[in-house]
Amino acid sequence: MTRRSSSVYPRNTPGLSRRIVLGRLVAHEARHQYILDHFDDGGLGGESAELLGVASSEKFHKDDQKNIIGQLAKFDTTQKTATIHIETFPKGQAFAFKE
Degrees (nearest 5) of the Cα angle 23, 36, 40?
65
Q: What 3-state class would DSSP assign to 52?
A: coil
For 50, counting Cβ atoms within 10 Å of its Cβ (0-12 exposed, 13-18 middle, 19+ buried), the class is middle
**pTM of the prediction?**
0.54
State the amino acid at position 89 in one-letter form: F
Question: What pLDDT is attached to residue 94?
Answer: 76
State the amino acid at position 93 in one-letter form: Q
Per-residue pLDDT reduced to its tens digit, 5-51: 555 556 666 778 888 888 888 888 888 787 776 666 667 777 777 77
> Treating both helix axes as pointing N-terminal to C-terminal, what angle do 62-81 and 16-34 enclose, rounded to 10 degrees?
70
Domain borders along the chain are 15-81
